[in-house]
Chain A
Amino acid sequence: MARLVAMQPRQASPWASSSSPLLPSSLSEFSGAALSISLQKRRRTWQPKGALQVNASSSKKILIMGGTRFIGVFLSRLLVKEGHQVTLFTRGKAPITQQLPGESDQDYEGFKSKILHLKGDRKDFEFVKTSLAAEGFDVIYDINGREAVEVEPILDALPKLEQFIYCSSAGVYLKSDLLPHFEIDAVDPKSRHKGKLETESLLDSRGVNWTSIRPVYIYGPLNYNPVEEWFFHRLKAGRPIPIPNSGVQITQLGHVKDLARAFATVLCNSKAIKQVYNISGSKYVTFDGLARACAKAAGFPEPEIVHYNPKEFDFGKKKAFPFRDQHFFASIEKAQRELGWAPEFGLVEGLADSYNLDFGRGTFRKPADFTTDDMILGKSLVLQS
Chain B
Amino acid sequence: MAAAVTSAAPALPSLHSSSCSLPPLTHRSLSFVAFTSPTITKLSSHRSSRHFSSGPSTSVLSIRAAAAAADKKRVLVINTNSGGHAVIGFYFAQQLLGSGHEVTVLTVGDESSDKMKKPPFTRFSELVSAGGKTVWGNPSQVGDIVGTAKFDVVLDNNGKDLDTVKPVADWAKSAGVEQFLYISSAGIYKPFDEIPHVEGDLVKDDASHVLVEKYMAGLSFSSWAVFRPQYMIGSGNNKDCEEWFFDRIVRDRPVPIPGSGMQLTNISHVRDLSSMLSLAVENSKAANGKIFNCVSDRAVTFDGLAKLCAQAAGRELKIIHYEPKAVGIDAKKAFPFRNMHFYAEPRAAKEIMGWSSTTNLPEDMKERFDEYVKIGRDKKPMQFDIDDKILESLKIAVTV
Contacts and interface: CB of A to CB of B under 8 A. Distances in A.
Interface string B201-236: 111010000100110000000000000000000000
Interface in B291-344: 291, 297-301, 303-305, 307-308, 341
Give the top 3 A-B pairs by smallest Cβ distance, nearest first.
A289-B193, A177-B304, A246-B260
Size category of the binding interface on chain B? 35 or more
20 contacts: A7-B193, A15-B213, A18-B205, A174-B5, A176-B52, A177-B301, A178-B2, A178-B299, A178-B300, A179-B298, A182-B50, A186-B52, A189-B12, A190-B9, A200-B15, A201-B12, A201-B15, A246-B262, A248-B262, A338-B46
A250 B341 contact: yes
A174 B9 contact: yes
Nearest to B47: A184
A11 to B, nearest CB: 8
B202 A186 contact: no
Given A176-B52, A185-B54, A201-B12, 16 more contacts: A7-B192, A7-B193, A7-B194, A8-B194, A8-B202, A14-B291, A174-B9, A179-B299, A184-B53, A187-B54, A189-B10, A200-B15, A274-B15, A283-B196, A293-B194, A333-B347
B interface: dominant SS? loop
B270 interface: no
A212 B15 contact: yes
A381 B177 CA distance: 66
Contacts of A331: 297
B81 interface: no
B264 interface: yes
Interface in A285-342: 285-286, 288-290, 292-293, 327, 331, 333-334, 337-338
Task: Pick from A276, A284, A288, A293 the residue with the most CB of B within 10 Å.
Answer: A284
B13 A201 contact: yes
B259 interface: yes
B341 A248 contact: yes
A179 B303 CA distance: 13
Interface of A: 7-11, 14-18, 174-180, 182-190, 197-198, 200-201, 204, 212, 245-246, 248-250, 274-276, 282-286, 288-290, 292-293, 327, 331, 333-334, 337-338, 347
A285 B12 CA distance: 30
B9 A188 contact: yes
A170 to B, nearest CB: 14
B11 interface: yes
Contacts of A17: 205
B195 interface: yes
